[in-house]
Structure 1
Amino acid sequence: MTAAAQRGTTTVADRVVRRIAERAAGEALADRPAARPATGAASVRGGRARVALAVTLPYPAPLGETVRGMQRHVAGRTRELTGLDLSVPRITVTALEPAAVRDRAPAASAAPPEGRAPRRVWSTRGVPVALQAAVATAACAALALDLVLVHVGHRPAAAWRVAAVHWLAGHRPGDPSVVALGALAALLGLWAVVLAVTPGLRGRSTVCAPAPRVVASVDRPAVEALVRDAVGAVPGVGAVRVRARRRVRVRVTLSYGDRGRARADVVAAAEEALASCALRRHRAVRARVTPATAWRPPEPSPVAPEPVPAPSPDAVPEGGL
């Protein structure tokens, strides 16, 4: 009989432990069909293993209880199947996804709720507000400091304030320099008004949220990428360019096939991709199909001749007997 020292060793690879842990995490969430498959990483050192998982949980869900139960199940199943000493898995919840969003039919999410206009995501205008506040703060601080030094420290007024007063006293409202400064101030005021009344964040499109008082949005580049991938899967389509604004314009290069049928397939694929985004505002699709340099129109299929019926043995030939 072979001695135990000569029987060799069994090594479990990192990717095997990772796959087992991911499958165990899916088993722990089997009663929650809205959860996405987990992704993770694993490392094995001797007889010990470490596992880290990233999961997307359905909403609503008790996070603490769900994560603790997943840790126990993943650790138990991994130890059982690999024989390794597994420490407590590190689980990171990357997102919460409502179950109604995944189960919603595309047609039901194409139109916004009745009686309400589609809402846009308003920008906080952080950079303009910060610039305006910084300029106003600096000007007021300089003026206040000069006034304090004049009245408390009995110092003469600052040179810049004296020069500004002399300049204002020596120029009339009709002077070109005064008119230019007034026009600049008016433009700055108009710019502030435009920023206040426009929503901003035009690179985002709102989507239909599953619950009231919830505002959700998706980046337009993400919508364009989704439409581009869907259109690129159409047979015969080569290069694809997508621009999503009020309308979705799709330009494709056709390598082979019929142009009319390819255009219809492109429009159908783009509309299906847009429906999966659940956008509040419906966007019409405009498709333009350009043949490639080597494209040739498909040859018409040959029409098979109609078969001639064989004469019946009982038939009487023309002219009689």
Structure 2
Amino acid sequence: MTGAAERGKTAVSDRAVRKIAGRAAGEVASASVRTGAGSASVRGRRADVGVKVALPFPAPLPEAARLIQDHVTSRTQELTGLHVSTAQVHVTGLLPVPATRTAAEPATGLATTTAADDPDATHRDSEDSGSRTPLRWWSPRRLPTALLALAAATACGALAVDMIRVHLAHRPAASWRADTVHWLERHGPDAPFVGIAAGALALVGILMIALALSPGRRGLLTMTSPAAHLRVAMDRTAIALVVRDAVGDVPGVGAVRVRVRRRRVVVRAQLAFGDRAIARRDILAAAHGVLDGCCLRRPPGLRVKVQESHHQKGRATDAP
């Protein structure tokens, strides 16, 4: 019988795990969920995965994201044999729910389990009720980290190679290193170029500190989550689209522009007909309903501006 050491080993690439996680997210409900490019990182027998999905709306988004998270985690671990940590779910968009849904179908458009099917569901919900979702979605800062690592590796690698050539091969030092040392000997801290280089390095250091301390990913707003290890965020563009659609359905409203900031949502609507005060009240109710349905961790403030069309202004001027 062949020994374990002679059989070789099986390596699962990051790309394969990423594709498996994406397929697993699509298995939840292929007709209601759209998946995008995700992420995966394999380290030995462990793997970290993340998926990007577009969920149906209106629907309880945290519950839908939790279903996807649980299925992606268990399914990826089953197919790859790796220990998969809790998957990250990134909501990139919202899809309108088909109007032909039957009453027997769940509101999320996803497969759900009842308390009778899962006796531990109530226990898990009670444990997860005290979870806390972060206010901001932190960025991994891959590009700045890669650029800094590349620059440091290039400089240290070139210096190490030259030192090895000098001490082991007994060859003269490289001209660039010798010229740099001679130039530094002739120019002190009072030289203009030295001051400029020092200022540039100080600015780079301040930039790196700012990147390390700031969350980044300003385009994402985190949502409340019923699970302890579930992190859900929604893109501000998607929030602007659903708010615009809801305000556009208000009677009398024509063109609508919505701008979603980190702490405020600004709605500019043009009134085609009807009373301005009543339209503003209906717009506020529609926008608040959509924002409440998004379950944002920090509900943004709402500012509504209603402008009358030229036709409405002309009628108000002609009125006795």
TM-score bin (small chain): 0.5 to 0.7
Distance 1:285 1:185, change over 3 A: same
Aligned position for 1:252: 269
2:294 counterpart of 1:277 = yes
* 1:238 and 2:254 matched: yes
Report the identity percentage. 43
- Deviation for aligned residue 1:37: 8.6
1:199 is matched with: 215
* One-letter amino acid of the counterpart of residue 266, structure 1: I
Tell me the secondary structure at the aligned position of residue 310 of structure 2: coil
In the alignment, structure 1 residue 211 sits paired with structure 2 residue 227: yes
Among residues 169, 172, 186, which one is paired with 2:202 in the alignment? 186
1:61: Cα distance to partner?
7.1
What amino acid is the match of 1:190? I
Change in CA separation of 1:239 and 1:264 when aligned onto 2, cut-off 3 Å: same
Pick aligned residue for 1:268 from 275, 282, 285? 285
Check whether the contact 1:258–1:297 (CA below 8 A) recurs between aligned residues: no
Q: Which residue of 2 aligns with 1:74?
A: none
For residues 295 and 36 of structure 1, the distance between their equivalents in structure 2, rounded to whole angstroms, comes to: 47
Q: Which residue of 2 aligns with 1:290?
A: 307
TM normalised by structure 2 equals 0.58
Amino acid in the other structure paired with 1:181: A
Structure 2 counterparts to residues 158-173 of structure 1, below 5 A = 158-173=174-189
- CA distance in structure 1 between the aligned counterparts of 2:253 and 2:271, rounded to whole angstroms: 5
Structure 2 stretches lacking a partner, 5+ long: 1-27, 34-54, 57-63, 76-108, 115-128
Over residues 87-112 of structure 1, what are the superposed CA-to-partner deviations in whole Å (9 max), with x where a residue is unaligned? xxxxxxxx967779xxxxxxxxxxxx
Among 144, 148, 161, the residue aligned to 2:160: 144
Letter in 2 for 1:243: R
Asked if 1 retains the 8 angstrom alpha-carbon contact of 2:131 and 2:226, the reply is no
SS where residue 268 of structure 2 aligns? Answer: strand
TM-score when normalising by structure 1: 0.58
Distance 1:99 1:229 in 2: 31
State the distance in 1 between where 2:222 and 2:113 align.
19
How far apart, CA to CA, are the structure 2 residues paired with 1:202 and 1:224? 14
1:249-285 Cα shifts (integer Å, max 9, x gaps): 0111111111111111111111111011010111111
Question: SS at 2:136's partner residue?
Answer: coil
8 Å contact 1:98–1:210 — kept in the other structure? Answer: no
Q: Which residue of 2 aligns with 1:128?
A: 144
**CA-atom RMSD in angstroms:** 3.2
- Larger Cα-atom Rg: 1
Give the direction of change, closer, same or farther, for the CA distance of 1:37–1:127 in structure 2 (3 Å limit): closer
Correspondence 1:221 to 2:237: yes
**C-alpha distance 295-200 of structure 1, shift in aligned 2 (>3 A):** same
Q: Is the 8 A contact 2:133 2:231 kept in 1?
A: no
Change (3 A) 1:118 1:186: same
Query: How many equivalent pairs are there?
Result: 209
Which ranges of structure 1 fall in alignment gaps of 5 or more residues?
Answer: 1-34, 41-54, 65-94, 101-112, 300-321
